[in-house]
Structure 1
Amino acid sequence: MIKKINIASFGQYQDYKWDSIDDLSEKTLQRLNIIYGRNYSGKTTLSRIFSCIEQEKMIERYEEAQFSFEMSDSSTVVHNNLTTAYKFRVYNSDFMMNNLSFFFDERGSIKPFTLIGSTNVEVQGEIDIIDQELGNEDTPQSKRGILKEIQTNLLSFEKEKSTIEKRLSEALTAEANRTIKTNPHYWGQNSGTYNRSNIEREIDEILKNPPAEISADQEGKLKQEIDELVKPPLSILSESSPKLNVIIDESKNLVTQKINSNKLIEALLGDPDLNFWIETGYHLHQEEHQTCKFCNNMISSSRWEALKDHFNKEMEELKEAIDKQLEVLEKSKGALANFFENKGIIAPAFYHSLQEEYKDVIAQWDTAKTAYTDVIKEIESRLEHRKSNIFDILEWIEVEDPSEKILEAIKSANNLINKNNSYTEDLSRRKEEYRKELRLYRIHTFILGIRYSEEKAKISNLDKKISQHIEDRDKLQNEINELTVKRGELELKLKDEGKAADAINHYLAQFFGSHHLQLEPEVESCDDVKRTVFRVKRGEELAFNLSGGEASLIAFCYFIAQLKDELSGPDAEKLIIYIDDPISSLDANHIFYVYSLIESILCEPLKYAQLFISTHNLEFLKYLKRLTAPPIPEKNGAVSRLDLCIYREEKPGEKSRSVLRLMPRSLSEHITEYDFLFKEIYSVIKPLKGDRHKYIENNYTQFYNLPNNMRKFLECYFSYRRPDVVNPLCAETLKELLGNTPWPKMINRIINEGSHLAWAEKGAMLLDDVQEAEKGAVLILKAIRSKDRVHFDALCKVCQIDLIEDKIEL
C-alpha cells in the first residue's frame, strides 16, 4: 500500500514533500485514511492523482504534472511510470462524468457493467480449461507464453536483419557517394547521379559475371584514356607525288645544254675564275666603258666587241634559267621541310593510344623526306657547278626519284589521321567503357572486403526465419483470438448486466430507501451494432432532470456495485480505493446511509488493501470516525487509521497551494466545527515560547484564517443564543455580548473587512494588524466567559483547554 505522498507539481499542489511536514515526518499512511478539507482545498485534485495511476496515464490537463508514491513494498509509483501491482479505484466527480454522463447531458449515457451471476460449474470449467491453455506470457508451455517466445525471437531476428541491412546500406551509400561518384575515373560528371541503387544493380551484375583482374599498369593506361581530352579533327592530306621527275628532266637539260663557241675568248674558256672576274668587270664597265677602272687604261672598241661576243645572250639566258631552277628546287625542298607540321600532324594532335603509330609514320616521313632532300641537293650541286662553269657541258648521271616514298608516307599519315578522327567520334563511348571496367573492378574488390555475399546470405537466412515465425505467430494469434472469443462467449453466460442494475437498485432501496429511482438495462442498436445501456427510471417513466442529490446517490451506488466482484475476488487485497466527497448535494438523512453503505460493503469486511475517504462535511466526518478500521495485529487494540487535513495555504506575494497535514486533535477527537473554531481562536492568544513574530510568519495560515474563524464562530454562537434574530452578526447581538463599548465596532470591522486578510497587503503593517485581531479574539473569549460561563467552560473541556495551565487571565 501507499506509505507517503510527494507532489512536485499537480494543480494547486506544488513542492509538497511528506517528510517536510513536521507533524507527518514520523508517520506513514495507514490502511484507512480519513481526509478533511474545506471546499476548494484540493481534495478532488488529490483524488485525480490516484486516477492517473488507475488509468495508467496522466489525465487531461495534467500531462506535465509530477508526483511520486512511496509504497510499502519499497517500490515507487511515479508520474512517468504508473505501473504497480495494486489496483486503484477512484470515485470522484470525474468518475461521474466519465461513467454517468447522462446526469450532465440528456444525450449522454450510463455505461453498463456486468456482475457474475449464479454459478455455472460446467461453463466455469470450460473457462478454466481455456485460461489454462491460454495462460500468460510468463507460462512457458501456454499459448500466450509460446506466442511471447515467438514474438521475442521474431523481434530478435528482425533486429539482427535490420542491423545487417543498415550496416550494408551505410557501406554501399558511402562507397557510392564518397568513392565512386566523386572519382572521374569511375563516374563521369555528365553521367547523372550515382547512388546506392546504382551500386546495388552493378553488384548484381558482378555477382553474375565477376570482372577480370586489372593490373596496376592496365589501370594506369585506362585512367590515361579516361583523362584524354577531345582532339580537333585533322584534314586528310592530298595524296599526290611532288612531280620531282619534271624537275630532274629540266635540270638535266640545263646541265647538258651547249653554248655557241665561234666568238668565244679562248683564254677565258679554260679558267672559270678568270671568266667570272672578267664577266663581273664587264658588267661594271658597261655604262662608262672608255677607261678600265682597275688599271686606268683605255678599253678599245674591238675589245668591247670581243667581250660582247663572249658574254652573249645565250649564256645569260642559261644562267638565268639555272637560277630559276635553283629557286624551284629550294622551294620544293622547303615545302617538304615542315609539311606535316604545317598540316597539324604533330604528337599532341593524336591520342595516347596512337602515339606509337604516330612515331612510325613520322619515321617513314622523315626517311622519304631525307631521300627527297638529298636528290634536290644533288641536282642543286650540279646546277651550281654548271653555272660556275657555264661553258662546261657536264655528263648527266641519273638520280633516283623518291616521289613514291613521299606518297607512301602521306598515305600512312592519312591512315593515322582517319584513325584519330574516328577515335574522337567514339571517345565518349570508350571512356564510359573504361570507367565501367574500372568501376566494376573497384566494386568487386569492395564487396569482397565487406563480405557482401556472406552478409546477404545471412539476411536471406533471417528472412526465412522471420517468414516462418510470422506464419507461426499469426497462426497462434488466430488460435488465441478464437479461444478468447470463445471465452468471452462463455463468460457472457456467467455475467449479466441485469444483476449489475439489480445490485445498484438494491443499494438504493436498502440503504437509502429509494424505491422510486431504479436503473434498468436496455439494448439499443447503433449502426447495426447492439449495445447495452443503463436507463434511469422514476417509476415506469424515464427520469430526466435529476436533482444533485439523486445523481449523487445513483453514482455512488453504481461505484460500489462495480466494486462488488473485485471485493469478493482473489485480488481484493490489492485494491487501493479513493472515495472523494460521496455526500455531495445530499441532505443530512442520506449522509448516514452513505456511511452505512461504506461500512457494510467496504470497511466491516476489511477486503481492501487501502482506503482513502475525503470530505468537506463535518457531520459526515463524524460518521467516518466510526468506520471499522483494520486492526494492527502486533499492537493490541491499535488500528491502522490516519486522520489528515488538506489546507489551502495563502502567503503574501506567493501563489496559494494545497498542503496535506495531520488532522488537528481538536478536529480529530471532537468532531463539530464549532469546537474546532473555538480552539482555533483560543490558539492565537495562547502564550508562546520564543519569537512571536517568527511564529506568525511560520504559521501565517492560522492568522490568515483568524477573521473568518471569528466570524463563523460568532454566527454559530448567536444562532443558538438568539434564534429570533435574522442576522446573527448584527450590531445588537455584538453590543449584547461586548457591552456599550467601542469593541463591537472593532470586532465588526475585523470579521468583515479583515476576513480576507486585508492587512496582508500592507507588508510592514502585518504584525500590528495581527495584534489587533488577537485583541479581538481576547475580547470575544472574555465576553463569552463572562456572559455564559457554563457554556465557555464546556467548550474548554471538550477542546482540552486549561486556562490556569496556559496562564491566561480572561
Structure 2
Amino acid sequence: MISKINYLTNFGSYRQFQWGATAPFARRNLIYGWNYSGKTTLSRLFQIVTEPDLLARWPGSQFEVELQDGTKLNHASLQNPPQLKVFNRDFIERNFEQEHRAPSFFVVGADTINLRNRITRLNEHETRIKAIRKERSVSLRRLQSELDTLRTNHARWVAELTGDKTYNRTKLGADIDKVKESPQEYILTDGDLEAKVTLVRSIDQWGHVDMVCAPAENPATLLYSLHAVLQKTATNEAIAKLKDNRDLESWIRTGLSHHVGSSQCEFCGSAILEERLAALKGHFSAAYEDLTAEVAAIVAKLRTANVTINLPDQRDFIPDLRLEFADLKTEVENWVSWATSVVGELATIAEKKQLSLETQLTCTVDTSRASEIDRIVEDINALVVAHERKRSQIDAERRLAKEVIEKHQAAIYYRDNDVPGKETEIQRAQNMVEKAEHLLSAIKYERDEVNAQISRHSVAVSKLDETLKFLLPDNNVSVVEVDGGRFEFRRNETPATNLSDGERTAIAFAYFLATLESNGASLDQTIVFIDDPISSLDSNHIYAVFALLTKKLEPCMQLFVATHNSELYTLLKEKWFVTQEDYANNKRAHSYHIRRYLDADDKVWQSSIADTPALLRKYKSEYQFVFDQLHSFASAEEPSLHEAYTSPNLLRKFLEAYLGFVKPCVSRWSDKLDLLFESQVDQVEIQKFADDASHLQGLSRALEQPYFVTNAQNIVKKVMRALKAKDLPHYTSMCTVIGVEP
C-alpha cells in the first residue's frame, strides 16, 4: 500500500509540497477539496506511478512516493510499482470516444469469429513478410561480405606498404569515412607517394639506444685500496727455511689447521714434539695471517677487476651522430687499454707485497687519467639523448607520412571500387530488412491487441450493463452490441444522444468498475484511486456511487476517494468514521483536505495535502467550515490576496445554504437576499460579487482592481453584520461552533 507522498514539486499546482507531519495513508482514504484545488492533479500522480511514460507530460517535476514497506518510488526510478487503477477526468476522455459509443476495443461475443479470422490473416501476412526478410537478409550478407573482402585485401596491401601489421579492415573503414566527402584531395602524385613510403621505411633501422654506464672498477679507487694494504706490516718468529720457500710455507699453514689440539701427524702418523708445534705457531702469528689474507684479497680483486664499458653499436645511431660516436668510442678504447695496464701494474705490486709482509711498500703507478672516463661517458650519453630526441621527431614525421599514405590508399580504394554504389545497395537491402522487422513487430502488436480484446469481451458487456442499470435506474440507458465489435448506449431502444455530463461520468465509471478485475486482476491486490465520480453538473447518482464505492470496492487492497461533492463526502465520512469520535482517523480510514492557496510572494497558486480541519471533519456538511473561513477573512487586520480571491465562491456557498434553509420555496439564492438586506443596492452588490467574482479565471482581473482585497473584505463584513442583525441566534450559534466571540 502507499504510505505517503514525501515530496511533490513542479507538478501542476503542487509546486513545493512536503508531506511533513500529516498522517500516513490508511486502507481507506477520503480526500475532500473544492473544484480546482488539485484533486485531479493528485490522481495524475498516481497514474504516473503505474504508467511511467506519462511523466514526459510533466517536464521538470519531481516526486517521491513511499510504500508501507519502506520502498520509495520517485521520478527517476519507478521500477516494480504496485498494481494501481485510477478513475479521473483523463480516464473518461480516453474511454468515451464519441457521444454514445465506448472505445472500439470493446468486443462482444458475436464478433469473436471475426477477430479470430483477423488473427489468421495476420499469421498469413507474417509468413510472407518472414520470407521476404530471409531473402533480403541473404542478399545483405552477400553484399556486405563482398565489400568486407575488398576492404580486407586492400588493408593488407596498405599494411605491407607502411610496415604497420596492425592496419586492418576496420582502420581502413575509419580512413574512408575521413576522405569520402572529397577523396581527390587526399590522392598523392607518384613522386609524393614514393617519397612518403621511403621516409616511412627508412626510419625502421634507427631504434632506441640505451644510456651508457661507467666501468664497474676505476684505477684510482683500486690504487686507494691497495695503498692502505701496502702500508701495513706484520712480524713473526720466522723459520728461515719457510721464509725462503713460500710454497712450503703455504702448505704448512694449511696443515696446521688440521692439527689443532693434536700431537700426532695426520699425514704420516708420527709424533709431533711440542717444541716443533710451538716453533711453527710462532712463525704463523694471528696478525701475520690477517695481513696475508687481506693482501691475497686485494690481489684477487685486482686480477679480476673489470674496467671495460658496454657500448652501443655505431650503426644504431642516426647517421649524423655516428662520426662523433666513433671518436668517443676510440677514446673509450684508449682509456680501457690504459686502465687495464694500470690495473696489471697494481696487481704486480700487490703480489710483491705478499712476499714482503714485514715491510711497508710504496706504489708509484700513475692513475691521473682515471677521471677521464667520467667525461667520456657523459659525452656519449649526451649523444644518446640527442639520438632519442631526433628519433622522436623523425617518428612524428614518420607517423604523419604514414597517415598521409593511409588516407591516399583509402581515397584510391573508395574511388576505384565504386564504394558509394556498393554502400547504397547495402543500405537499400538493410532498409528492406528493417522494414520487414517493423512490419513483423506491428503484426505481433496487432495480434496481441486482438487477443487481448478476445479475452476481455466476455466480461465487458454483461458487467457494464449491470453496473449501468444500477447507476442510472431511471434513465433507461442500456448497452447493446453493434457492428464492428463496438457497443452502443441506447435510451429506450434508440441511440442515447446528448448524454449529460453526469451520464457520461456514470458510464465511464461503470466501465472502470467492469475492468478492475479483467485479465485475472484481483481487487485485494489492487490500489484504486477514484477522483470525483460525481459530476459537478449532475448529482443525481450520489447514493448509487456511494453504494458501489462501499460495496463493490470494499475488497480493494487500498482505496482513495477524492471528491468536491459535500453530500458524497458526508456519506463516506459517516461510513468509514465513527460519529461519537467526531469522525477522527482510525486504523482503517484517514481523511484529508486538499487546499489551494495563493503564494503571497510569487502570486501563484499552490496546492497542499493536509489532515482534515476540525470543523470540516466534525460536522456533516461544509457549512460550518465555510462560515469559519468567511468570519476569519472579515475579522483579519491584514487580509491576504488569497483570502480575497477565494471569498466570492465561499460567500456564494454560504448564502446558497443559509438562504435555502430559511426560504426553501424560492429557488434562486439571489432572489432571497431581501432576508438579509433591505436595500436593493446592497442586494445587487452582494449578488454581483458572489456571482461574477467567483468565476474569475485568473489573478489578472483581481490584480487589475487596486482595491480588490479591501472591497472583498468590506462585502464579507457587510454579510456578517447583516446575519448578526437579522438572525442573531443563528449567528451566535455559528460563532460558538467556530470558537469565537459573537
TM-score scaled by length of structure 2: 0.48
| Greater C-alpha radius of gyration | 1
After TM superposition, the score normalised by the length of structure 1 is: 0.45
